[in-house]
Amino acid sequence: MNSINETLIPKIGVITDVRIDTPDIKTFRVVTPDGKKAFDHKPGQCAMLSVPGVGEAMFSITSSPTNEEFMEFSIKKCGCVTDWLHQAEPGQQITIRGPYGKPFPVDDVFAGKDLLFIAGGVGLAPLRSVINYCRHYRDRYGKIDIVYGSRSKDDLLDYKEIIEEWSTDDGVNVHLTIDNPQEGWDGHVGFVPNYVKELGFDTNKVAVLCGPPIMIKFTLDGLCGIGFDKTNVYTTLELRMKCGVGKCGRCNVGAKYVCKDGPVFRCDELEELPSEY
Amino acid sequence: MRKCSLEKINLLFAEIAKNAELYLPTQQTDGSAAYKKWEEGSVWSNALNTVRSPKDFFFPQTENLMKFKTEGKSIEVVDTRNALDDFVIFGVRACDVKSFDVLDRVFLTEPVDSFYALRRSHGVIISLACQRPSETCFCKTFGIDPAAPAGDISAWKTETEIFFEANTQKGKELLEKLSALTEECDDTVVSEQKEKINKFMDKLPLKNVTTDGFGGGKTKELFDLPEWDELSQACLGCGTCTFVCPTCQCYDIKDFNTGNSVIRFRCWDSCMYSDFTKMAHGNNRLSQKERFRQRFMHKLVYYPENNDGMFSCVGCGRCLAKCPISMNIVKVMKKIGGK
Amino acid sequence: MQVNEYKPLIVAFCCNWCSYAGADLAGNNRLAYPADVKIIRVPCSCRVNPMFILRAFQRGADGVIICGCHPGDCHYTSGNYFTRRRMAALFSMLDFLGIEKERTRVEWVSAAEGAKFAATMNDFVQTVTALGENKRLEDLRCKK
Amino acid sequence: MQKITREQLLAKASELLSNGTVSCVLGWGLGEFDYDVTPTIFKSVEELENGFVFNDFCGANFSKYLVNKTAKLEGKILVFLKPCDTYSFNQLLTEHRFDREKVYAVGIPCEGMADIAKVKAISGDGIAAIGSNGDKLTVTTLYDDEAIVIDTNEVLAERCINCKSKKHVAYDELMGEEGDVTQSNRFDEVARLEAMTPDERFAFWQNELSRCIRCNACRDACPACTCEKCVFDNPSSGVENKSPANSFEEKLFHIIRAYHVAGRCTDCGECSRVCPQNIPLHLLNRKFIKDMNEFYGEYQAGAEVGSRAPLVSYTTEDLEPGEVFNRGENNA
């Protein structure tokens, strides 16, 4: 039924696994009813998931494109659709369409560079796909630093994967931090922007930021403060979206549509946009 | 060029309606005009234009996209589209014809909106020159000639006759089917009328409205102007301007649970509404000023930036006539563009 | 449509304290009333928002009846007095829009009036059956 | 023709602005044409002199603006209120929607405002200028050599033909002469509809409401609709459908809109004035007013601050909902 150019009619997806990451974030594994990946995507792209009768919402695809079996979505419980999804059990069908948006420039700009990923809270979700992509093609990139912070140890997303896989990789440095001291936590305590400044990275890296708006703002200021150039810093935006294809007008900021021209923006591109995001 | 006596106009309508659904502006009980399907006895309104724009034909206010049937954990997606018959829209003014170009650039660029494309491919547009433009008209600002409307067939009406000229293959085919009711003629009368209309155009009070100061790349310059406060202060936040506008194309996608299935439909939405950009975690346009600015920036800056300088306004004047507080794009253009 | 084949769908909003108990009593006493009466229990008849009534019609109801405690006997002292005014205004408005006035009704049924409950429902179902299907406040999307 | 002139209002506004009584003026702002006036905040005498207008097209009811405009205001705002606006003003005060201390209300007489649609129905499109002379409007068009003279009474807005009151019920200062509550025939049209058969009424409303484009102007202009979160904007209400998808949605919206202001509606007529599709929405409101007058005794919302609306009060002797119809039949 779905013709090639059909943009608004979704495919059926099946939730095959639900992983509880933090008290309010779950990671859902989604495949088509015949067990395949719904579509190919690039790191940083998004998909529209919907629950008929509840609504449709845009989520970043958390799993790496190199995973050819399924897609994963890390979803924080915060609205109608996400509330519903959090109650869903494996086997539940949902609808899925995509991929939408411009990916991170992993194959050109990032190639050969040292990479610095900075994430806060559920902001790790969109970065996980690009981090894993870069880890998969490890020889194409230089050193990888990951700074990830959250409210508490329990709120760290993908903690197991970070400790067991990312930290053990060659040339990958993981720096974790939590907002307040906590029993059983011997790592760094403090906010991400300050931690980034303390760590004081080489300014020739490409930095990728994702997290709550306030974290992005201060981290970006911090990075610029230690000499980063805005043309080397990337981030992702999130606005309300309905169509996903740059027509419904909802995510329009300046002459850009976040669903089509974003969600990945270089920070100097962002400066060209009116401050409405 | 072919002509037909106005006495025979109903025969002509009947002939068109034989092969396709015919829509034309008819008079409503309140005196205004609205596009209605022609049937025996329909009266063609002589109002300058309809309250609702003809964008409805290609981008209806409400349109079902699909249906979901859910059972237990599984979902079935049902395509609810029916085959569409050809239809003819008669009496579209030059500004509204141009508005289809504006919409085309949104819906027909990749990825093509198949719902819109399907309707667009089935529609034949018979445009009509404006004999008596209103004081609210400013189509000239956007390079539109109300004396020479585009469309598949252009038409000119005089006191006694109506003249037709086909512009496209679709138009030629339709005009051929009407050959028994029309006769070949030269363009003397039409040329005279064009001249007369152009004279009127020079008298219009809004003839000097220009797009100077607007266009792609002006975002930084215009976005933070203090004038937006003043312009938006009376805005009620209703959707009248967006809903009567022939070029406003923002939409919402919603689900309706009928009790036995879920219908997903799309409907017009307005950037003037407070919930337009509201998400679970906040709203990036909290004040009416921001929402008001978005509408005009989109029409006069953002759209042209993405569409080779074409503005998303055709000067039809509907918002001038219908805004409850008489704030409109002309006032915005004069206030801000003149800077 | 033959009248005896048509079974109207009736939504009855019943107040928890009187009418719902009245319906219970009707059941206990084996007093028959049509199964097509769908009872919705509400804490008080004044909980019934006009929107509930319209939405009941939208979703296929052919008649809507609101049952509460007798005036003066409201569990919350005055709830049903407000209901009385609100519904008077709403019913009059529905009538003004040309919607058959027989499709809506308010009845006061106490917990002891099981027989009245059954009789009221029988009477209401009969009235609505005579009117036939709700066409004027229907939502075609909700029809099967 | 208004009895009070622009110059008089301008002088008053300038005076109050200059002597510091008020910090800004909410008045009618000059438009592109003689009839499209925009509610405007004037902050200086110079702004007033350049932009303030008062003519036969100053219909907008300013009361609702006070809710927003006084919220963050330093000092007082001067507002001009026509008699009908003062009722909305009082009603908003009853509902504690704005701070009375921040408002300096000047009552102005009103001889009824013209409806531009009615003017255009006579003069045709292409209005170049509209002048006012006695009780005549002189309309110059782009197409006619001679000006068209129209009797103001012929083009009065519906709400002004059936003006309920020339008396101001609230003001700090009154300009011109005080009028009286008028014996209007505003319920005649409602009564005419009531006398129809249900089928006729249904057909009438089906036709009228079918034109609705659900722009929400009736709601957004209504001085009684000041909820911060409207049920029609709330996704969890289940009725937040943005479009009149079918005739049920149209009816639902308009019944509920009118119902939500029932007993609080002062019959200012803004809903019908702003409706782009000319739906006679005021008839729905007037039906409620007429009913409540008949069921529960005469009540005029906004006539005094603090009065209790019929739907938030009761007597033990009220008529039963079933009885409202018997009454109707007696009337018909």
Map out the domains of chain B as residue ranges. 2-54+82-203, 219-337
C-alpha to C-alpha distance for A170 and A173, rounded to whole angstroms? 8
Residues A147 and A232 in one domain: yes
* CA distance, residue D214 to nearest chain B CA (Å): 8
Low-confidence spans in chain D with pLDDT less than 70: 1, 326-332
Check residue A238 and report its DSSP letter.
-
pLDDT band for position A4 (cuts 50, 70, 90): very low
Q: Round to whole Å and give the CA distance between D119 and A276.
A: 43
Joined tokens for residue B139: 């189509």
User: CB-based contact (8 Å) between B252 and chain A?
Assistant: yes
User: What's the pLDDT score for residue D326?
Assistant: 67
A177/A122 same-domain check: yes
Highest mean pLDDT among A193-202, A258-267, D262-271: D262-271
Nearest residue, CB atoms, B79 vs list A9, A93, A95: A9
Looking at the complex, report in whole angstroms how far the Cα of residue C37 sits from the nearest Cα belonging to chain D: 20
Closest partner residue to B277 among A6, A239, A255, by Cβ? A239
Residues A12/A33, Cβ–Cβ less than 8 Å: yes
Task: Report the residue count for chain D.
Answer: 332
Q: In a 10 Å sphere around its CB, with 0-12 CB exposed, 13-18 middle and 19+ buried, how is residue B153 labelled?
A: buried
Q: How confident is residue A3, by pLDDT bands cut at 50, 70 and 90? A: very low
Residue with tokens 């197409």, as numbered in its chain: D143
The 8 Å CB, 24+ separation contacts for D148-154 are D148/D122, D148/D123, D150/D119, D150/D122, D150/D123, D152/D1, D152/D56, D152/D111, D152/D112, D152/D114, D153/D112, D154/D118, D154/D122
Q: Do chains D and B touch (3 or more CB pairs under 8 A)?
A: yes
- Find the CATH number of the domain harbouring A79: 2.40.30.10
Residue A14 in contact with residue A33, Cβ under 8 Å? Answer: yes
Helices (H), chain B: 9-19, 94-107, 114-122, 169-177, 188-203, 219-223, 227-232, 240-244, 288-297, 303-306, 318-322, 329-332
CB pairs under 8 A between B and D: 129
* DSSP letters spanning D141-192: ESS-SSPEEEEGGGGB-HHHHT--BSS-S--SEE-S----B----TTHHHHH
Does C142 contact B at CB distance below 8 Å?
yes
Q: Both A147 and A224 in a single domain?
A: yes
Q: Between chain C and chain A, are at least 3 CB pairs below 8 A?
A: no
Q: Please, what is the average pLDDT of chain B?
A: 92
Shortest distance, CA B298 to any CA of chain A (angstroms): 8
Phi (first) and psi of residue A120, to 5 degrees: -130, 130
**Structural domains in chain A (count):** 2
**Contacting partners of chain B (3+ CB pairs under 8 A):** A, C, D
- Integer angstrom CA distances of residue D211 from C55, D144, D215, D241: 22, 32, 11, 17
- Best D240, D252, D329 member to test C by mutation, with max C CBs in 10 Å, is D252
Q: Residue B282 belongs to what H/E stretch?
A: strand B282-283
How far is D125 from chain C, CA to nearest CA, in Å?
34
Kindly identify which residue of chain C lies nearest to residue B263, measuring between CA atoms: C141
Nearest to B250 among A93, A249, A274 (CB): A249
Domain span at residue A69 reads: 11-100
Residue B153: in which H helix or E strand, if any? strand B153-157
Residue in A2, A7, A15, A216 to test binding to B, most B beta-carbons within 10 Å: A7
- Interface size between C and D, measured as CB pairs under 8 A: 119
* Cα(D88)–Cα(D112) distance, integer angstroms: 17
**pLDDT tens digits along C46-102:** 999 999 999 999 999 999 999 999 999 999 999 999 999 999 999 999 999 999 999
**pLDDT of amino acid D2:** 85
The distance from CA B147 to its chain's CA centroid, rounded to whole angstroms, is 18
Q: What is the pLDDT of residue B31?
A: 86
- B148 token code pair: 């020479």
Residues of chain B contacting D278 with CB distance shorter than 8 Å: 30-32
The answer to whether B158 touches B132, Cβ cutoff 8 Å, is no
**Rounded CA separation D271/D285 (Å):** 9
Asked if B273 is an interface residue toward chain A (Cβ–Cβ < 8 A), one would say no
Question: Residue D223's closest CA among D91, D36, D68, D38?
Answer: D91
Q: Do chains D and C touch (3 or more CB pairs under 8 A)?
A: yes
Q: Which domains does chain C have, with CATH numbers?
A: 10-137 (3.40.50)
A123's tokens: 């902001």
Disruptive mutation site among C78, C85, C134 for chain D (greatest number of D CBs within 10 Å): C85
Q: Which residues pair with B21 in a beta bridge?
A: B87
Alpha-carbon distance D257 to D252, whole Å? 8
The size of the B-C interface in CB pairs under 8 A is 10
Tell me the ipTM for this assembly.
0.91
Question: Quick count: other Cβ atoms within 10 Å of Cβ A210?
Answer: 29
With beta carbons less than 8 A apart as the criterion, state whether D78 and D17 touch: yes
Q: Is C112 on the interface with D (CB under 8 A)?
A: no
How does C4-14 read in b/e, with b if 16+ C-beta sit within 10 Å?
A: eeeebbbbbbb
CB contact under 8 A, C136 and D194: no
Residues A52 and A144 in one domain: no
What is the least distance, in Å, from the CA of D37 to any CA of chain B? 6
This prediction has a pTM of 0.92
Test D201 with C96 for CB contact under 8 angstroms.
yes
Please measure the distance between the N-terminal and C-terminal CA atoms of chain D and give it in whole angstroms. Answer: 39
Residue of A nearest to B71 (CA): A93
Identify the pLDDT of residue A79: 85
DSSP E strands in chain D: the ranges are 24-29, 38-42, 77-81, 103-107, 127-133, 136-141, 148-151, 173-174
Contacts of D315 in chain C (CB under 8 A): 81
The residues pairing with C39 across neighbouring beta strands, listed in sequence order, are C12
